[in-house]
Amino acid sequence: MTGCSSGLGRALAENLARTGEQAVVTARNPATLADLAEAHPATIAVAALDVRDEAQCQAAVDLAGERFGGIDVLVNNAGYGQFGSVEEVSEQEVRDQLETNLLGPWRLLRMVLPQWRERRSGHSILVSSTCGSMSLPGLSAYAVSKFALEGLGESLALEAAHLGVKSTILQLGGFATSYGTSLVEPARRIEDYAVAEDGVLAGTRAIADYEFTTPVELFPLLVRKVAAMAEPPLRVPFGRDIEVYLAAALRARHQDFEQALAEGRHTAEWVTP
Ligand SMILES: NC(=O)c1ccc[n+]([C@@H]2O[C@H](COP(=O)([O-])OP(=O)(O)OC[C@H]3O[C@@H](n4cnc5c(N)ncnc54)[C@H](OP(=O)(O)O)[C@@H]3O)[C@@H](O)[C@H]2O)c1
């Protein structure tokens, strides 16, 4: 599991520790998990893991092999939000966002897949967001990272199901964590975008107080439910606000697609002058 210093990852780590599951729990600062390792030395192993660091990724995978004989379930949870419009975010800010939210999970999967192919079993759980299927003003880089993450999970399902590999994407609504306060603002702001973005920024910063926010305690239950399923679904939309945002966005997209077909936008006639 990645990103266990706080929020959803910490809640899952505590839950697994309490119930005696074997787990390698990881964080950029492993001191944040020392209490769990001390209280549960036989079942909880801690690794320093910044998902951007290839050597640390490999060391964490190796530790799971040494301590527990391998990895059954990989939970790619670590992530953050880069705020800013398409024009405001710099190329470096986009690269940083993708390095953590997309390439980190991909890197770990690449390291774990050989053992899953050999065993003909394994389960990838990717922590995505409603922003994996819809964007909001100012969430361009974050939405791109989560859209791409969902492409990763979907590709894995198609490519490796016959090898016994399961792939699940958790499409989470708002949870009361430090995600909102950790949101990184771009170095460059452009006043013209403020009218569209500022409400989203304020709303995301206050996500923990939002009336539809989902309690963090439900996240470990969700992961455990999915991990225990013989045939888990590829996508699990989860949270109190899913109907408000994700369901509405997906229905609108579906309607738009049907409208495109009805108007013949997919045909040669539509483009022929
Ligand atoms: N909370 C929500 O409303 C919500 C909704 C949908 C999806 N999500 C997703 O849920 C996941 C967990 O977020 P959260 O809500 O629990 O927020 P959080 O409390 O801010 O936790 C984020 C975790 O990711 C870690 N992290 C960030 N960059 C990392 C890196 N390069 N390498 C390793 N760890 C890194 C953080 O570690 P440090 O302490 O070292 O920074 C922290 O442990 C994220 O992928 C987020 O996109 C959250």
Name the residue ranges covered by the structural domains of the chain. 7-241, 244-273
CB atoms within 10 A of CB 176: 17
Q: Which two tokens stand for residue 33?
A: 């998990």
Contact 210 CB / ligand 1 (< 6 Å): no
**The pLDDT of residue 233 is above 90:** yes
Contact 179 CB / ligand 1 (< 6 Å): yes
**The pLDDT of residue 67 is above 90:** yes
**CATH topology assigned to domain 7-241:** Rossmann fold (3.40.50)
Residues 11-32 pLDDT 10s: 999 999 999 999 999 999 999 9
Residues with catalytic function: 128, 142, 146
Q: Which residues pair with 212 in a beta bridge?
A: none
Q: Are 246 and 134 in contact (CB under 8 A)?
A: yes
Closest protein CA for atom 33 of ligand 1: 50
The span from the CA of 24 to the CA of 26, in Å, is 6
Predicted confidence band at 123 (pLDDT cuts at 50, 70, 90)? very high
Closest protein CA for atom 40 of ligand 1: 28
Q: Rounded mean pLDDT of 54-71?
A: 98
pLDDT of residue 230: 97
pLDDT of residue 105: 99
Instruction: Quote the ligand 1 centre to 213 CA distance (angstroms).
Output: 16
Instruction: Quote the ligand 1 centre to 77 CA distance (angstroms).
Output: 6
Residues 180-199 pLDDT 10s: 999 999 999 999 999 999 99
Contact 12 CB / ligand 1 (< 6 Å): no
Q: Rounded mean pLDDT of 90-107?
A: 98
Instruction: Quote the ligand 1 centre to 2 CA distance (angstroms).
Output: 9
pLDDT of residue 210: 84
Q: Are 197 and 189 in contact (CB under 8 A)?
A: no
pLDDT of residue 63: 98
**The pLDDT of residue 209 is above 90:** no
Mutate to test the pocket of ligand 1, among 6, 134, 236 (most ligand atoms within 8 A of CB): 6
Contact 127 CB / ligand 1 (< 6 Å): yes
Q: Which two tokens stand for residue 106?
A: 């991909």
Mutate to test the pocket of ligand 1, among 179, 235, 236, 244 (most ligand atoms within 8 A of CB): 179
Summary mean pLDDT of the chain: 97
Question: Which DSSP letter does residue 124 get?
Answer: E
Contact 28 CB / ligand 1 (< 6 Å): yes
Count the alpha carbons within 13 Å of 228 in the hemisphere toward its beta carbon. 7
The DSSP element (H or E) to which 205 belongs, if any, is helix 194-205
Q: Are 9 and 24 in contact (CB under 8 A)?
A: no
Predicted confidence band at 166 (pLDDT cuts at 50, 70, 90)? very high
Contact 129 CB / ligand 1 (< 6 Å): yes
Contact 172 CB / ligand 1 (< 6 Å): yes
Predicted confidence band at 37 (pLDDT cuts at 50, 70, 90)? very high
Q: Which two tokens stand for residue 55?
A: 């050597």
Predicted confidence band at 208 (pLDDT cuts at 50, 70, 90)? confident
pLDDT of residue 17: 98
